[in-house]
Every structure is written in C-alpha cells, then in structure tokens.
Structure 1
Amino acid sequence: MAKVAEVIPQGVQYEFIAEDLSNKSHLLLKYNPVHKMIPVLLHNGKSICESLVIIEYIDETWKGAPILPKDPYERAKARFWAKFMDDKCLLPLCNSYWTQGEEQEKAKEEASEVLKILDSELKDKKFFGGDTIGLADIAANFIGHWFSITQEVIGVEVLTKEKYPKLCEWIDEFVNCNIIMENLHPKDELVASFQARLQAATAPK
C-alpha cells in the first residue's frame, strides 16, 4: 500500500485501510473482484486497481504535485521504466531470496542483469526521472525499501554498493526524501514479517 499512500498529494484527505491478504475482506473482494489484490483506491465511490494505474489516476486527478512529466517523450520513458520495474525486476529479485538451489542461482543471475540495467540508467541522475521523484521511482519503491530490508533479514547480498553504486545512491536519496519517509511501511513490522516468513520456509517438514 505504501506505493499508493506515498503519492497522495498533501492536503488531500484520505483513509488508509490495511488489508490481511490471508483473510481478504469483503471490501477488497467487492472493489477488486478480478485480481482480489491490493492496492485499491476508492474515489467518489469508484474503485481503481493496480499500482501504476492508480498512480496515473492520482496524477491526472490532483494537479498540485505532478508525478509524470508534461513532455510526451519523457512521459513515455517514465511509463517504460515503471513497467520494467513491475514486469522484469520484481520476480527475479524476490526469487533471489525466497528460493533455493538452482532456482535461486538462476534468479540471482537474472536479478544481477536487471540491477545492472537500472544502475546504468541512473548515470548522473538523482532519480530515474531526473531531479525529482517520478513514476519510475515510485514503482521502484520495493527495491529502495522492501528489498534492502529483506537483505538484512536473510543475510544474502544481491544489491551492494560495490556492484551497483548509482542504484545505492538512489536508494539513499529516495528513502530519505521527507514525503517518502513519512509514508513507508515501518521497518520493524517488515523485519518481523520477513523473519516469520523465513522461519516458516526453513522449518522442518
């Protein structure tokens, strides 16, 4: 949910509802009957689903703090990298920690390739969109916050400053930005959740 909460413009009143995906609520099933997953944004009684779709809806509805650039080419680039984060990065990065054996080694190789691409794309930029946080940066939230915490819990290093210096600089800039910091999921809760998942995965069967 942080990916959505962190882009609600200041001054816009909203209610945050946490969802237990092991016991999905009637509201979630009602407002996202197709995927039955979070996040879901309810606005004026209508539901908008899927993170990137929600972010673009927010950008088009509240004009105070633009998320996507005005230039059509730059907007297309932002959409490309946001989709790259979701389609190409998420699965191999997760599998590089939560799998074992050959499957894990293959995932690490795939994760290394996508991280190299991201590190190269940043070049001398502060954020993926330039000097300010944009769509691609928000889409990469799981790398900047969730993934870094997972590394600590599991003790397997995939993303390091030695291998990916620009990407690690981006992480520092992103998570220490005030508006992002205020809306990130608390680290202690994520650590507890990941530790419980790790214990369940390694418990004798």
Structure 2
Amino acid sequence: MPLDRPPTRHRASARARMDAADLLTAGVDEAGRGPLAGPLAVAAVILDPARPIRGLDDSKKLSEARRETLFPRIVERALAYCIVLVEPEEIDSLNIFHATMTGMRRAIAGLAPAAQHALIDGNKLPPDLPCPARAIIGGDALEPAISAASILAKVTRDRLMVQLDALHPGYGFALHKGYPTPGHLASLQRLGPCALHRRSYAPVRLLLDQGRLF
C-alpha cells in the first residue's frame, strides 16, 4: 500500500515571502526519539503573526483529536513549514542524538522562504545551521512556533506508524507507535525484529545478539 510520506516543503505565497525579515523565525521540534521502531520525524515551522492559531501547545499535552484538528490549521496558516523523516537505518548509523541534529538541520534548510532565526526545543543546537538559532529547554510549551513544529512532527509520525502497522502486522504499531510498551516488547520477543526496528536500541540489539549466539 502507498504510504503518505510527509510533504518536504511548503512554499508560502508571494505576500508571505515579502514579509519583514524579523517575522521569519522558525520553531523546530521532533517526535520519535524514544521508540524502538519507525523513523524520527522533525518539523520546522514559520508562523504568520497575521494568522494566529489558538490552542498551540506541546503535542504531548494535547489529545490525539486536538492534534489532528490543529495539524491542518498549521499547514494552511503557516508562512512555511518543512517535515523530514530520519529513517531507522540512519538512526542506527548516526545514533539518535546525531540523527536528531541532522533532521533539525534538514528541516530548517527545507523552509521556503528561508528562516532567518530558529528556536529549537532542547538544550543543544545542531552544527552548521543555515541561520542563527537558540535552544530552549521546554520550548514546545513556551514558544508557539515550536509547539506548531511539535504537532506537525507528532501527527506525521503517528499517521505513518498506523500505515506501517498494516505492512508489519503483529507488532501493534498502530497502538503504541513503536514505543517500548509491554505489548510491543512481548511481540518483539515473539516475532523478532522487523525492518522498522532500530538495531542500535538495546531491546532490539539484545535479541539480535541472542540470535547470533544460538
């Protein structure tokens, strides 16, 4: 079945591209650092001050229904947004920290119009960013643009994991989205890792090591 991969870029209107430079601040956040399976999703969003969006908050504090309601509003009203996925193979190659930094850099670079400043959730800044940036601990609950990025990343990843559940039945991806719940760990023990699993994460790595030993 075809998968609904996220749009990599949203081009703003000519009016938006002519807005003042001091409005072009991007919020950046990710979803999916903790799961044992599936990609990491990273989003960057430049909000339009002339088109405010009520109810923005850290995506983890919002219900699924509320996130789904806000997603199209953000997409429609933002001056620009970019959503990128970092696949499990690259996460295993880089480790999750560097994969997150790489995804953030790609998301900011994918904005059109380009961001002239970025606000990044967390306490670390990716190297080689295309614009000045500031890291904000808990920024997804403090800065509307980061909240918007958090919602885009979370909804995109959750939708994808639901689709991937049909391609990899038995693991329950539609329910737990790849996080290490008791049900996921039990299915992992029963079925072994699938192509979506992150080989560098301890529960998956231990199973693979056991398979090589016996």
Specify if TM > 0.5. Answer: no
TM-score by length of 1: 0.31
Select the structure that is richer in strand: 2
Greater RCO structure (CA 8 Å; 6+ sep): 2
TM-score by length of 2: 0.30
